[in-house]
Structure 1
């Protein structure tokens, strides 16, 4: 295990921590090179159902590693390899059959915001700043911002924020349409774990089928979605969790789901 990314497992919940607090967990090439294999490990761990992404120190992630970028050779092939690594991480988070929760605090900027938005849920400590400042360094946002942001706030608002350099608190982000659970100061991980346990103890297969269908629905017709929903419903009707849920309903008790 590397030092820039830490992995902790508690039952069916994995906690992945960015661990370069002196750099505000900027998404350096070395950090990404440690993060991807950990995501790969978690994806194929049958015991893990929920993943929490968090940062050590004063911030979740301050975005791209500008010092690293400045020292990097301005070579298109080198830059492309680095960007491909970043894109693979975003795709892994979106596609893995786990529920991914971003637990953000301090600063969630640039690439850090991309990581958060690619997650299934966001829990943020009160006062956390969401920042897009690519314009200050002559760049356009990356790692999926152009996909996720317009779907939350609309095309014109997304353009305004990108071009003007958005900097807002999570409280204001919620008012703008972001779905974020705001945690009291110093209670971030407690709230994130509470949410994670709710998902881990629920009908997990149903959750994952919904995740996969929602994440692909923008590329499908209504007829396609209806057909896939029918297939999913047919599969889930044969599961233990469905039968347990029905029995619990008639017995007027809480269901004891197993994710099976």
Structure 2
């Protein structure tokens, strides 16, 4: 059986590639399970600082593989397990101690778009096309985007994107804040690597703590956010590496 997800290490960077190019990397159970395993493996590697998620062939990922959808939704328990598997990838990305970069090109649709939104940095190639098809089908979004995206772009834009489900180009992704940066397709993976190496130069604990605090801050009160900040700041001040860097600066 061909691997649906391929991973490799390059110094402090773990590359995770969606690998069903004949189906535009559409999501089936094999891909979701192998992606979860690859993320878990990268998380366990102490020397890995940054994960880059990208797609083989002409697309990042075209969303659910509609050809395989019957196999995932044959019963309510099967459907429950399928959705939970998709949601588990969101938790792995957002709760990871590593920074996760999405390097997106071609089609990025539905659940895959939601995974991209879960990532810490999102680089979009200039040929990217994206949309939320779920409501048009009578389905629903995943990835926590009803909370995450609403707070990023505001409720009006979030409703526009999810309810109307229109197809958009890469420039629109930058305009609304879904994409962090727009790059030429030919330079996408090189730009992702340069960003990853820049992040890897920062102290690991400080980067992990700030990611955790920011992600938790989406949902927390001011008091909760300040408590997280206090704990992480005390930890930073007590770090010999942080003290040495501050004195050098």
What is the RMSD of the two structures over their aligned residues, measured on CA atoms?
1.7
1:41 corresponds in structure 2 to: 41
Q: Which moved more, 1:232-241 or 1:218-227?
A: 218-227
1:73 positional shift: 4.8
1:224 positional shift: 2.3
Q: Which moved more, 1:144-153 or 1:202-211?
A: 144-153
**1:6/1:17 contact within 8 Å kept:** yes
1:45-64 equivalence runs, <5 A: 45-64=45-64
**2:136/2:164 contact within 8 Å kept:** no
**1:131/1:167 contact within 8 Å kept:** yes
Q: Which moved more, 1:160-169 or 1:237-246?
A: 237-246
Structure of greater Rg:
1
Residue 68 of structure 2 aligns to a residue whose secondary structure is helix
Quote the Cα distance in structure 1 between the aligned partners of 2:18 and 2:77. Answer: 27
1:145 corresponds in structure 2 to: 145
1:255 corresponds in structure 2 to: none
1:194 positional shift: 0.5
Q: Which moved more, 1:94-103 or 1:210-219?
A: 210-219
Judging changes above 3 Å, is the alpha-carbon distance between structure 1 residues 96 and 34 closer, same or farther for their aligned structure 2 residues? Answer: same
1:147 positional shift: 2.3
Residue 185 of structure 2 aligns to a residue whose secondary structure is coil
Q: Which runs of 5+ in 2 are unaligned?
A: none
Residue 81 of structure 2 aligns to a residue whose secondary structure is helix
Matched, 1:89 2:89: yes
Q: Which runs of 5+ in 1 are unaligned?
A: 250-260
1:166 positional shift: 2.7
Judging changes above 3 Å, is the alpha-carbon distance between structure 1 residues 39 and 177 closer, same or farther for their aligned structure 2 residues? Answer: closer
Residue 242 of structure 1 aligns to a residue whose secondary structure is helix
TM-score scaled to structure 1, two decimals?
A: 0.90
TM-score scaled to structure 2, two decimals?
A: 0.94
1:115 corresponds in structure 2 to: 115
2:128 corresponds in structure 1 to: 128
